[in-house]
Structure 1
Amino acid sequence: MNIHWTPITQQDAEEIAAWKYPEPYNFYDMTADEEDLELFINPEKRSPHTFSGHKDGELTGFLTVDLENHPTVDLGLGMHPDETGKGEGESFVQACLEFAAKRYEATAFTLSVATFNERAISVYERLGFKKKHTFTQATNGGHYEFLSMEK
């Protein structure tokens, strides 16, 4: 997938915040958690390492890179709801990995995914991510189990 990554604009952040996923993936709607929404939508609180991904001129996803443990970087990513479930996940995540490796000279990657999201876990495993451990995190008004993965 040929994705053009740019620092996220406020317009793109607001568009992404309005994305609505079908159940059970609506867990990932930005509006599902007020704190997460504020961190994403407010330019003063948003990570300076957040990028918009465009394919053929259309907003297709986003990527946030956490450099706290550089050269291992932690990835937060999302695809446009209209693009999910169509077999594009692997190429999208690969584009995220290539961008982060090139821009940040990352040598290893981590990410966290809700344990119910078997579709995403399968994509990550096909790309070489290994399951590390599960943990519980407060989000979306409750406590949910997540899987930490590493490549």
Structure 2
Amino acid sequence: MPKYQFHAMNEEAAAAISTWIYPTPYTMYSMDDSEDTLEELMNGEYFYAETADNPCIGFVCMGGSARVPGGYVSGIYDNEAYIDIGLGLEPTRTGQGNGTEFVTESLEFIRRTYGHTNFRLVVASWNERAMKVYQQVGFIKGKEFASSVRGQEINFTVMHYSSSFLI
């Protein structure tokens, strides 16, 4: 039985997620509780995850919402064989061994619901903790590119996952 249950984003979950603040050095992943953030979370590309003891423990997004603007210039989004995904766990749940199971169940949710088997995500290149989790699940590091986030230039690493990698 899966630990996480995924649902289409609703206003209550979006309001909770929009207040998430991550500690240093992960502050670039923090939300700002703005109307724009709430609108994005409600754009139809986000799903929230709940557990038996937490009604909103994480989220997964797909498509354009998962893309980093600098990747368009770098051409990383040209290969349409992959679906772009983004993931987030509630800040107090990060760094505690929850990542591998959350990512695995997120991929399974998307696979079951939409039939996708090839995934692409982008992670800050300095975020070794997240990259380690993604690699444990089966993602492979790819190209790097730079993009501006809140006025700061950040290097990102593209990671790919395909069920064909597992054969």
Counterpart amino acid of 1:63? V
Aligned position for 2:156: 146
Aligned position for 2:45: 49
- Check conservation: 1:60, 1:80, Cα contact below 8 A: yes
- Counterpart secondary structure, 2:32: helix
- Counterpart secondary structure, 1:31: coil
Q: TM-score, normalised by structure 1?
A: 0.88
Does the alignment pair 1:3 with 2:13?
A: no
Structure 1 residues 112, 41: CA separation in 2 closer, same or farther (over 3 Å shift)?
same
Cα offset, 1:30, TM superposition = 1.6
Counterpart amino acid of 1:26? T
Share of identical aligned residues, percent? 32
Aligned position for 1:63: 60
Report Cα offsets for 1:78-114 as digits up to 9, x if no partner: 0001110111100000011000111110021000000
Structure 1 moving runs of 4+ over 2 Å: 67-72
Cα offset, 1:70, TM superposition = 5.9
Q: TM-score, normalised by structure 2?
A: 0.80
Cα offset, 1:57, TM superposition = 4.7
Report Cα offsets for 1:52-98 as digits up to 9, x if no partner: 10011511100111188665211111000111011110000001100
Does the alignment pair 1:79 with 2:89?
A: yes
* Counterpart selection for 1:101 from 94, 100, 111: 111
Unaligned runs of 5+ in 1: none
Unaligned runs of 5+ in 2: 65-76, 162-167
Counterpart amino acid of 2:8? P
- Counterpart secondary structure, 1:101: helix
Counterpart amino acid of 1:126? Q
Q: CA RMSD in A?
A: 2.2
- Counterpart secondary structure, 2:21: coil
- Counterpart secondary structure, 1:42: helix
The number of equivalent residue pairs is: 146
CA distance in 2, matches of 1:149, 1:71: 14
